[in-house]
Amino acid sequence: MKHIVDHNSLISHLGGAPKIAEFLKIKPVNVRQWMLRNRIPPEHWQELSALSSESGFAVDANWLVDTMPPRKAVDVAA
């Protein structure tokens, strides 16, 4: 089993962008964007938590919050 330490590795563990997109009924490009940012939007946490429990690695909102990296600061001076 892969070591699941962040949102990106969770997506990979659950089958990758195409499978997650199909499960959530969204476009794969959206999930690929999450992978680039390593951030799953909170509105999808409940569904992915349910999917993860079926895959043998159950995550909950606490795990998702704890593994979410901080947002990058926006330089407004530019």
pLDDT at 76: 73
pLDDT tens, 5-57? Answer: 999 999 999 999 999 999 999 999 999 999 999 999 999 999 999 998 888 88
- SS3 of residue 41 by DSSP: coil
The answer, yes or no, to whether residue 73 has pLDDT greater than 60, is: yes
Task: Give the model's confidence band at 1: pLDDT under 50 very low, under 70 low, under 90 confident, else very high.
Answer: very low
pTM of the model: 0.83
Bigger pLDDT: 18 vs 3: 18
The per-residue b/e assignment along 42-59, b for 16 or more CB within 10 angstroms, e otherwise, is eebbeebbebbeeeeeeb
